[in-house]
Amino acid sequence: MLGANLRQLSRQAASISALCRELGINRTQYNRYLSGESFPRPDVLHRICTYFGVDARILLEPVNDVTARGDNVLRNPSVIDFMGPAAGDVPEKELPSGFYRFSRRSFSNETLYVQGVISVYRNKGHTFLKGFEARDAMAQQGLPTALATREFRGAVLVQEEGVAALVSRRGAATTTFNYLARVPSFENNFWVGYVARTVRENVAGRRVERLVYEYLGRAMADVLPVARTAGFCAASDLLPYHRTLLKVGEPFA
């Protein structure tokens, strides 16, 4: 059963060699899994399941049964008629894969703004984003500044007039809801909306701020200079068009 399931799942990959490189598994050993001659160790099985988005039931049950039970929650019959479109992939033309510069006002200090870089990518028919909180922003809140602690990821969903994303740090330590709509411009590479923190009303700091995304493309040479400016800044340090879209000095309505 495992071999049959892996053969079906492996069809998603460009090649078995590329798949083995991504999984960190020897090609010869993976072929033995495919043929049913060998079973992976528990840690290797966990790696395979995580990659394909399944669980250890692939040892005993057809993969179609396993994935059907773990289907996207937004496609559940209880909400499919209401949330169905959000469960589909965000079209590339609506939010291209690649790197983005973002800016918003700080939640904790109304006189400062936050700049950073995120990447948008596709995986198995869905759209995701990832990035890192600014080191000084974490330190100001008395939180650990290790890379793993600062990392955040999110799932991007289709909306009627834009896109939305549910974004969290590892372990759901913090979560935000983001909404963005494309701004008609000469290069058509800006999105504006807002970000809301999922915190109680009596928690210190603001809970909703305007948010700007600027598409930078996929070339690291264009991204690295922007990444070096990540962190807190004054309104005067923002790019002019970012200041305009953030409506600096105007209350969020």
216 pLDDT exceeds 60? yes
pLDDT of res. 36: 87
Mean pLDDT score across all residues of the chain: 85
- Comparison of pLDDT for 250 and 84, the residue scoring more: 250
| Least confident among 70-74, 89-93, 117-121 | 70-74
Compute the distance between CA of residue 222 and CA of residue 189 in angstroms, rounded to an integer. Answer: 14
Catalogue the long-range contacts made by 131-139 (C-beta closer than 8 Å, 24 or more residues apart).
131/102, 132/230, 133/169, 134/230, 134/231, 134/232, 135/231, 136/231, 136/232, 137/106, 137/108, 137/231, 137/232
65 pLDDT exceeds 70? no
Domain 2-70 falls in which CATH fold?
434 Repressor (Amino-terminal Domain) (1.10.260)
Task: List pLDDT tens digits, range 153-169.
Answer: 999 998 888 999 999 98
Given a contact cutoff of 8 angstroms between Cβ atoms, the answer to whether 85 and 164 are in contact is no
Where in the chain are all domains bearing CATH 1.10.260.40? 2-70
pLDDT of res. 79: 67
235 pLDDT exceeds 70? yes
Compute the distance between CA of residue 253 and CA of residue 238 in angstroms, rounded to an integer. Answer: 21
Helices (H), ranges, the chain: 2-9, 16-23, 27-35, 42-52, 63-69, 80-87, 135-140, 147-150, 220-227, 240-246
pLDDT of res. 120: 95
Helices (H), ranges, 115-180: 135-140, 147-150
- Comparison of pLDDT for 119 and 18, the residue scoring more: 119
Q: What is the DSSP letter of 45?
A: H
72 pLDDT exceeds 70? no
* Nearest by Cα to 214 from 251, 239, 234: 239
Percent of the chain with pLDDT over 70: 88
* Domain over 98-246 is classified CATH 2.40.128.120: yes
Where in the chain are all domains bearing CATH 2.40.128.120? 98-246
pLDDT of res. 84: 59
3-state SS, residue 150: helix
